[in-house]
Amino acid sequence: MTLLLTEGQVEELIDMPATLDAVEAVLRQQAEGRATNRARRRVALPKSGLNVMFAGAPEIDALGLKAYTVARGGARFYTMLFDPETGGLLSILQSDKMGQMRTGAASGVATRHLAREDARTLGIYGAGWQAESQLEAIAAVRDLERVIVYSRNEQSRKRFAAKMGERLGMDIETTHAAEEPAAQDIVVTVTSSGGPVLHGEWLRPGTHVNAAGSNFLFKTEIDREVVKRAAFVCADAREELGLEAGDLMPSLETGAILPEAVYELGQVIAGHVPGRKSPEDITLFASQGLALEDLAAARVVYDRAVERGVGQKIEF
């Protein structure tokens, strides 16, 4: 039997603590050669596009793919979770919320391992839906004393501050000064901008940066100075450097950073590379999003659905 789970059901079943743990565990498995990921593949048509990502992680009984279409009416996300032993289709999950949560969780895991232990302030570029899970995840791994948000639209950043402040029980500041969020201990970029919103000259020593809004080669939220100043740079997977890592591409093309100097977040988690070496280091995580992260979150949701009797069972 295959379990169908809607967006509403997924939202009821998923939470950030479990997603953080699941994403961290599967990235460790990837680094240790115990999980397999394949980068996103895209089909572009005049009025729509299809994107598909694949992965397998036998230790969490997860094999599958995420597929999503993008058209004038918006994006539609679906994850198919298979049993790696039998090949049976366990579940089809609507995956918009799940994708938001795993993207935030990846930044949370990066922050857990790369930000200074005493990091207490967060600056966010972007005030949209994706920014919500970024804040939620980072607040789960660091005891934040100050959060400040910048976006081009004043009403958007004020709505975000009010909504997330109430949800997390904290005061969230907004600013019209683009350089102010960059002066914090942890900085996140998660915007729809096609050009840099964060400039390296604004960063202070010791900052950790999560660049989370770009997964196209022609889109970058950070300038080359951010990459140049970073003592440590990592991504979800090095496989994506020539495919999707738009935030790193200008620096890679000009030789400002070599591909060999970009590590994988899982290598840090597994202890294969040290990551931050000094309190003065600037560290950078270029988040692209992996199918492994989607499957790790899907497994959490599916197991909870089975336990609680949620979802519609169908037989093919």
The span from the CA of 306 to the CA of 224, in Å, is 47
pLDDT tens track for 70-89: 999 899 999 999 999 999 99
Of 97, 61, 58, 59, which is closest to residue 79 (Cα–Cα)?
97
If residue 77 lies in a helix (H) or strand (E), which one and from where to where?
strand 74-82
Q: What is the DSSP string of 13-63?
A: H--HHHHHHHHHHHHHHHHTTS-EEEEEEEEE-SSEEEEEEEEEEGGGTEE
Amino acid at 269: I
- 103 falls in which pLDDT band (50, 70, 90)? very high
Of 290, 299, 294, 296, which is closest to residue 90 (Cα–Cα)?
299
245 is written with which tokens?
């890592």
Q: What pLDDT does 129 receive?
A: 95
Helix axis angle, 154-168 to 129-141, nearest 10°:
40
- Tell me the domains of the chain and their CATH numbers: 2-99+291-314 (3.30.1780.10), 114-286 (3.40.50.720)
Report, as an integer, the average pLDDT of 59-79. 95
Is residue 203 within 8 A of residue 197, CB to CB? The reply is no
Q: Tell the residue number behind the tokens 């990502």, with chain if given.
A: 53
pLDDT tens track for 145-180: 999 999 999 999 999 999 999 999 999 999 999 999
Of 21, 29, 24, which is closest to residue 59 (Cα–Cα)?
29
> Which one from 47, 66, 158, 163 is the annotated catalytic residue?
66
Q: What pLDDT does 243 receive?
A: 56
Report, as an integer, the average pLDDT of 95-116. 98
261 is written with which tokens?
């100097």
Active site residue 66: yes
Report, as an integer, the average pLDDT of 218-224. 81
**74 backbone φψ class: left, alpha, beta (φ>0; ψ -120 to 50):** left
Please check the confidence at residue 279 and state whether its pLDDT lies above 70.
yes
Is residue 179 within 8 A of residue 97, CB to CB? The reply is no
Is residue 287 within 8 A of residue 235, CB to CB? The reply is yes
Please check the confidence at residue 241 and state whether its pLDDT lies above 70.
no
High-pLDDT (> 90) share of the chain, %: 84
- 259 falls in which pLDDT band (50, 70, 90)? confident
The span from the CA of 98 to the CA of 94, in Å, is 8
Q: Which DSSP letter does residue 205 get?
A: T
3-state secondary structure 209-236: EEECCCCCCCCCCECHHHHHHCCEEEEC
High-pLDDT (> 70) share of the chain, %: 95
Q: What pLDDT does 252 receive?
A: 66
In angstroms, how far is CA 153 from the centroid of its own chain? 23
Q: What is the pTM of this model?
A: 0.95
- Mean pLDDT (the chain) is 93
In angstroms, how far is CA 273 from the centroid of its own chain? 21
Is residue 121 within 8 A of residue 186, CB to CB? The reply is yes
Please check the confidence at residue 102 and state whether its pLDDT lies above 70.
yes
The span from the CA of 54 to the CA of 239, in Å, is 13
pLDDT tens track for 11-35: 999 999 999 999 999 999 999 999 9
Of 214, 222, 215, 210, which is closest to residue 243 (Cα–Cα)?
215
Q: Give Cα separations from 250 to 126, 131, 191, 209 (angstroms).
A: 22, 24, 18, 17
pLDDT tens track for 185-218: 999 999 988 789 999 999 999 999 999 976 655 5
- 258 falls in which pLDDT band (50, 70, 90)? confident
